A and B are shown apart, each in its own frame.
Chain A
Amino acid sequence: MSKKAFPHIFSFILPLLGVLAMLFLFPENTLPEPVLELISTIDIPENEYSADSQTGQTEPADALVPFFLEEETGGVFGYLNRNNRLVRSGRAVFGCTISGTGYIVFPKVPDSLAINNPDGSPAATISGTGYPRYFAAGKRLFVFTSDLTGLREINSAGITIWRRNIPSWITSVSANQEIVVVGLSSGACLLLGKNGEIIREMAAGESRIACIYGTSCEQIGTRYAVLSGAGPHRIAVMEASTGELVFKTELPDLARTEKRMLFSSCRRYLFVEGDDSVFIIDLAEKKVDTIFLPGRLIAFSYSKDSGILVLLARRGENLELSGLRPPRALVFRTAYPSVSRFLYTDAGLIAAGRNNQISFFNTGEE
């Protein structure tokens, strides 16, 4: 064997060993690679539109997908059916909260509120002033006082079920069908039950600056998470029923605004918005990964079926839609110009808002 042949062998074997090592160390990369496939795009009319009035058919409420193409002020709202067709749309000049069960369009000074059915017919009125928002996938409706020192839950008939005044002002709220997590500016956090009763009250933590910057609770499950304090921020994940601490860690000091937080439906991950980044907290491995984004996070959603975290981030005039398989594997990325914000994922389908349009993507595998 000549001296010259030696390097040739190494130049072949070394990369091969490298590839084998990669496959061994990062087995998730060997999974089929999801691709983002644009299925269709539909135009959303600016003016009021109702397909029911044209076809004479009414879509069942549980087959509707609500959307709100949110802009800096107001936006276009409506419903899609499961065939990605537009059922109804309208414009909210200031604000809108929408769910599969109905919607409320409210003005800047909301002194009277009306709940509409998805077909636009009036369902109920809510007495008193306040700002409404649906939680728990539309199964719970809360009205917040205009100074954020109180909240009340409203039933489908527009009746107040319970109300509670807060000894501070609210900075973050999340809810599922069983609990409501209310984060306060004072740094305290209230865990409320179905009827607004206090299950547990957490005092402000040890951070130099006490405040709650984010809350989240599992939609199906019993865990909830709280992002509290500044200098540094602290994340705590707890069991609602027992108060047991599941996990806690510190995060670097972030801009002191509310942060989005989301549990994956598989219960393994907690996703936390950072400054132009997302923290992926693996609750099983008890470790934190950071994903950097091209700009500010606009929305995120976790698709249980594909196991992909879908991120929508602002990149200048564009929005960037990207998907990654936790903890770090980027699987798709696309950018498009848009001022309106909307993201919906279901069973591998992604619906994303653009300027008066909704695009539907499929995350197939190849």
Chain B
Amino acid sequence: MRIHAVMICIALAVFLCSFDWPLENSVVTGTFGEYRQDHFHAGLDLVGSQSAVASTAVGAYADRAVHVRSGADGEIVFAHDEGVSYSSVPVGLGSYVTLQTRDRMRFLYCHLAKRSVRIEPFTVAARDVIGFAGDTGYSGGIHLHLGVYKQDTQAFLNPLEVFPALSDTRLPVVSGIFAQKKGEILSLSDGRMIAEGEYTVFVRTHDVRENMHAWKYLPYEVSLDVNGTPAGKVVFDSITSQAGEAVMGQDRKKLYELFRDGELYSGTVTFSPVRIMQGEVVLTARVKDFAGNQAEYSLKFSVRSTL
């Protein structure tokens, strides 16, 4: 039994280590699950450094470009070159390439520079240049959107789960807990008294990374306890669709119910309904980033009976 577990762990480790980040010196600028006005960010945004190695695979400007390299051996499934290829739909992904590995895992490389997209040959080896980072489509600057899609489960996975670990030593931040009842938002603070009942509780949180000090990221895991009893947990590990709606994680939480409107990057994660009973109550929000750094935020207040 133990041997089996070890073998599974080794196989998993080999599988996870078999992918390479597509940019040299990859820096994350956008995390998985962020609310992006008309969708939820089903991937990572990355910037990287220009490569000195010229590529003959994808045309001109090779020596001055930020090369996007295939994360694994695979095959091109679909490619689009903005303004050059035909598309029946307007493509906010810009110029993009989808690759499939032997394990039916798909990688999506978006916002590539126009005319840099590798369309043929179809077979791609790991580290092959498949395009240059660009600013095509719904993009506000040169970067790469990296998506990972599991064909068998039809789910987008958080690329951090698949690619080698990136250094991250800074703790996430919890900046507040709010409660809402009948449309009224209550800013909870130590010592405050509220009435018992069912509330929607918002945890305002963001993550930070060492090389992007001013940037606010969505953390990987947010949970809420009421007097030490779990009241909810969200893990930003996968996005799929259920009955025409985007849902997050294994618990399939509806994403439009998970965030407050207008919260773009910092993330105000919603837990509802949360039952808060009469007496002394301690609400604790725990937030983790993918590297395991954890922050905790607790509030103690009194709850009166509604009778």
Contacts and interface: CB of A to CB of B under 8 A. Distances in A.
Contacts of A130: 38, 92
A147 B88 contact: no
A319 interface: no
B158 interface: no
**Which label, helix, strand, loop or mixed, suits the secondary structure of the B interface?**
loop
A109 B140 contact: yes
Contacts of A147: 36, 39, 41-42, 92-93, 138
B241 A148 contact: no
B77 A209 contact: yes
A110 B76 CA distance: 29
A5 B87 CA distance: 65
Interface stretch (B78-86, B179-187, B198-206, B213-221): B78-86
A164 B39 CA distance: 11
B46 to A, nearest CB: 16
B89 interface: yes
Contact of A148 (B75, B92, B245, B246): B92
Nearest to A182: B89
A236 to B, nearest CB: 17
Contacts of B108: 169
Contacts, number: 132
Q: Which of A131, A165, A230 is the most central at the interface, judged by chain B CB atoms within 10 Å of its CB?
A: A165
B92 A211 contact: no
Interface string B27-61: 00000000011110110000000000000000000
A186 B108 CA distance: 12
A273 B89 contact: no
Nearest to A73: B83
B157 to A, nearest CB: 13
A211 B78 contact: yes
A169 B93 contact: yes
A108 interface: yes
Contacts of B139: 108-109
Contacts of B137: 108, 146
B15 interface: no
Given A72-B114, A255-B120, A129 B37 contact: yes
Contacts of A73: 83
B85 A150 contact: no
Nearest to B120: A255
A215 B88 contact: yes
B55 to A, nearest CB: 20
B246 A165 contact: yes
B77 A256 contact: yes
B258 interface: no
A71 B82 CA distance: 11
A358 interface: no
Interface string A145-182: 11111100000000000011111111111100000000
Contact of A257 (B42, B79, B106, B240): B79
A250 interface: no
Interface string A171-214: 11110000000000110000000001000000000000111011
A164 B36 CA distance: 16
B100 interface: yes
9 contacts: A131-B90, A144-B89, A149-B241, A150-B246, A167-B241, A185-B149, A257-B79, A257-B119, A260-B86
A-B pairs with lowest CB-CB distance, top 10: A146-B92, A131-B90, A167-B241, A146-B138, A72-B83, A129-B38, A129-B37, A145-B39, A145-B38, A167-B154
Interface of A: 71-73, 95, 97, 106, 108-111, 128-133, 144-150, 163-174, 185-186, 196, 209-211, 213-215, 230, 255-260, 273, 297
